[in-house]
């Protein structure tokens, strides 16, 4: 993770830390670093390996390591160096964490089938300026990358840098950046990780303790493995290194796996990640608190295994049938059946008194006969 220096001519300058790589014996087979095993990346690789995802690595140049050669889309140089290739080693190490191939030797990256654009913003001595960082981000936007991974930063807010970050964010490009290696010496993390549009990453060790060197601040989003990380180095070597610079590409690789998985589902995922905001919400949903406090580890690390096991395709939503409204059938009125025993429903007419007396006389005459 670079630190910022103020030059005598009042020019801001980023300087990569002097790395002290630990050279190790290489096994005669490919291996997963402890950080990848801690995140359950080997199990996730059964489902996806980051196919079709383009990542811009803004760092110290284009890696020539055989582990990433086939996963390189191109490179661009904005530094003061005359060559685009990495002569420092920082970029080579970062890119191996993201996209080292599965080829039966060396190491395996988090997203071994993702593709990388190498953008050189730091020269061969590890120095660069914020203006070069801005140029690198602008070029990455024009390449229409999916993710920008930045293992560089400074503790001074450079307005043009924030403008470029916002532009990438609005283009739905996910930006991941290292928090910094200043421990508790600064009140917050470095820029651009401090910007709200960026996912800032701290580092923790194999015991899940946030590293002492990892910068603290309210703008830390997550923590990833960043101590004794094993990856690619200059001259096709493999070494171990420490730093939030190497925790950030862990999360960049996980984002690549998520995007590849979601795209393979054809937009049918229960939790879409089409925008940086959706990606952040998705990561937070599966965050595990490390217990070091939000300033040290943000939301914590990521339960990547559960994320990929539980994020199944959404069940197809069949169109609801139009409800059929059944009108109540009126009950038939009972028919009046005429019966000899039925009484008439007509109103009875009461006979007059005169008619009744005449009728009575008539009946009395019949009886006499």
Looking at the annotation, which residues are catalytic? 59, 90, 245
CA distances in angstroms from 43 to 3, 230, 319, listed in the order given? 36, 19, 36
**Phi and psi angles of residue 364, each rounded to the nearest 5 degrees, phi first:** -70, -35
Write the DSSP string, 104-150.
Answer: SSSB--SSTT-EEEEEE-S-TTSEE-HHHHHHHHHHHHHTT-SEEEE
How far, rounded to the nearest angstrom, does the alpha carbon of residue 105 sit from its chain's CA centroid? 30
How many CB atoms within 10 Å of residue 339? 7
Dihedral sign of CA atoms 278, 283, 286, 292 in order:
negative
Q: Measured at the alpha carbon of residue 283, what is the angle toward residues 278 and 288, in degrees to the nearest 5?
A: 155
Q: How far apart are the first and last CA of the chain?
A: 143
**Which two three-digit tokens encode residue 213?**
């060197």
Which is it for strands 287-288 and 301-302: parallel, antiparallel or unpaired?
Answer: antiparallel
- C-beta of residue 195 within 8 angstroms of C-beta of residue 159: no
Question: Among residues 349, 207, 213, which one has the least CA distance to residue 290?
Answer: 207
Longest distance between any two alpha carbons in the chain, whole Å:
158
């Amino acid at each position: 993770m670079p630190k910022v220096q103020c030059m005598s001519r009042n020019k801001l300058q980023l300087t990569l830390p002097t790395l002290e790589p630990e050279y190790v014996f290489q096994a005669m087979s490919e291996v997963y670093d402890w950080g990848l095993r801690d995140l359950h990346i080997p199990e996730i690789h059964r489902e996806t390996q980051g196919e079709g995802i383009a990542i811009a690595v803004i760092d110290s140049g284009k890696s020539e390591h055989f582990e990433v050669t086939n996963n390189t889309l191109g490179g661009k140089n904005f530094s003061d160096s005359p060559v685009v290739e990495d002569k420092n080693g920082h970029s080579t190490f970062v890119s191996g964490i993201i996209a080292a191939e599965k080829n039966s030797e060396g190491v395996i990256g988090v997203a071994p089938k993702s593709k990388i654009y190498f953008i050189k913003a730091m020269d061969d001595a590890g120095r660069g300026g914020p203006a070069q960082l801005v140029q690198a981000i602008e070029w990455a936007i024009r390449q229409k990358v999916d993710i920008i991974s930045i293992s560089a930063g400074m503790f001074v807010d450079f307005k043009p840098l924030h403008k470029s970050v916002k532009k990438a964010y609005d283009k739905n490009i996910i930006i991941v950046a290292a928090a910094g290696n200043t421990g508790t010496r600064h009140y917050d993390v470095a820029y651009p990780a401090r910007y709200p549009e960026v996912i800032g990453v701290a580092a923790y060790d194999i015991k899940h303790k946030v590293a002492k060197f990892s910068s603290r601040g309210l703008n830390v989003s997550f923590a990833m493995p960043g101590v004794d990380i094993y990856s690619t180095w200059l001259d096709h070597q493999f070494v171990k290194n420490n730093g939030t610079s190497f925790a950030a590409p862990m999360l960049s690789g996980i984002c690549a796996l998520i995007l590849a998985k979601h795209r393979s589902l054809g937009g049918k995922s229960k939790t879409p990640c089409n925008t940086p905001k959706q990606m952040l919400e998705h990561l937070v949903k599966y965050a595990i608190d490390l217990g070091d406090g939000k300033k040290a580890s943000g939301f914590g690390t990521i339960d990547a295994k559960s994320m990929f096991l539980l994020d199944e395709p959404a069940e197809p939503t069949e169109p609801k049938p139009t409800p059929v409204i059944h009108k109540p059938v009126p009950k038939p009125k009972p028919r009046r059946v005429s019966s000899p025993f039925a009484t008439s429903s007509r109103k009875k007419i009461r006979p007059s008194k005169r008619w009744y007396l005449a009728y009575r006389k008539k009946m009395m005459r019949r009886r006499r006969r």
